[in-house]
């Protein structure tokens, strides 16, 4: 390789590294204007082979490749832009073989949520997670439409019970992931039908890391009208 070709190749390598560091920008597909009670959600799906970071601010996302092959956007869908000061915020890990963790909470990071993905095996893997919030200020989007009319709650024609159960499972998965259990399987997750326990989902799950398996029981308080998981309690069995 002559000197000129070497210089050109070196410049290209530097440009590739600079572009990876800057990240690939994407605007969210907005499918609504938030819910009537101020709840919001963004669903992010990316392909990663190595390590990457996803930064979300408002309706804009940046995908930065930290190592391995270039990470690729697959989906960025929200029902409203994320406000700069969400009143409540949850990170819900949903899918992927590696480790997904929230590095920066938007409530104390200027309205920017940063999520890191570490993919431990060769080849691309799809990763999906949700950012959920309730209330907040400083956003540039108007309040959403009024709440749905009566009759749209749980039950026939209303909020599907399966979505409440899935929301609880997602929240439990995220909590166990953050506690160092990258692999989670569920033995059960069902509505609690005991008297006075309406609006709860209970069940059991197994968290795995390396050669260790640990059994947990859990309980979620769920708003069936909106699907919002109010709180979760995960305990060793």
**101-155 pLDDT tens trace:** 999 999 888 889 999 999 988 888 899 999 999 876 533 333 333 333 333 344 4
**29 or 17: which leads in pLDDT:** 29
pLDDT at site 140: 36
Span 22-141: which CATH code?
2.60.40
For residue 69, give every residue at least 6 positions away whose Cβ sits within 8 Å of its Cβ, in sequence order, or none.
Answer: 49, 50, 124
Residue 32, CA distances (Å) to 68, 101, 104, 113, 148 in order: 35, 27, 26, 21, 14
For residue 39, give every residue at least 6 positions away whose Cβ sits within 8 Å of its Cβ, in sequence order, or none.
Answer: 132, 133, 134, 226, 228
Report d(CA 106, CA 87) in Å as an integer. Answer: 10
> pLDDT band at residue 202, thresholds of 50, 70 and 90?
very high
pLDDT at site 197: 59
Q: Kindly report the average pLDDT of the chain as a whole number.
A: 77
> pLDDT band at residue 193, thresholds of 50, 70 and 90?
confident
CA atoms 177, 182, 186, 187: torsion sign: negative
Residues of the chain with CATH 3.10.450: 149-237
Report d(CA 108, CA 94) in Å as an integer. Answer: 24
% of the chain at pLDDT higher than 70: 73
Structure pTM?
0.52
pLDDT at site 73: 93
Report d(CA 131, CA 93) in Å as an integer. Answer: 9
Question: What average pLDDT does range 164-171 have in this prediction?
Answer: 82
pLDDT at site 194: 72
Question: What average pLDDT does range 150-172 have in this prediction?
Answer: 62
Contact 32, 24 (CB under 8 A): no
Span 149-237: which CATH code?
3.10.450
Residues of the chain with CATH 2.60.40: 22-141
């Amino acid at each position: 390789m002559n000197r000129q070709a070497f210089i050109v190749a070196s410049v290209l390598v530097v440009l590739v590294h600079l572009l990876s560091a800057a990240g690939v920008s994407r605007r969210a597909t907005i499918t609504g204007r938030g819910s009537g009670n101020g709840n919001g959600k963004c669903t992010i799906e990316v392909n990663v082979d190595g390590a990457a970071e996803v930064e979300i601010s408002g309706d804009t996302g940046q995908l930065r490749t930290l190592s391995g092959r270039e990470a690729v956007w697959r989906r960025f869908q929200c029902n409203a832009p994320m406000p700069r000061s969400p009143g409540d915020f949850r990170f819900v890990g949903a899918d992927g073989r590696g480790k997904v963790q929230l590095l920066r909470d938007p409530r104390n990071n200027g309205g920017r949520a940063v999520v890191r993905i570490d993919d431990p095996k060769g080849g691309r893997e799809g990763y999906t997670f949700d950012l959920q919030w309730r209330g907040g200020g400083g956003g540039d989007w108007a309040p959403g439409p009024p709440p749905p009319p009566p009759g749209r709650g749980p039950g026939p024609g209303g909020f599907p019970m399966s979505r409440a159960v899935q929301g609880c499972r997602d929240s439990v998965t995220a909590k166990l992931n953050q506690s160092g259990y990258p692999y989670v399987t569920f033995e059960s997750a069902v509505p609690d039908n005991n008297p006075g326990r309406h609006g709860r989902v209970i069940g059991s799950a197994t968290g795995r890391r390396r050669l260790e398996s640990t059994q947990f029981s859990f309980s979620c308080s769920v708003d069936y009208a909106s699907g919002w998981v109010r709180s979760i309690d995960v305990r060793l069995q």
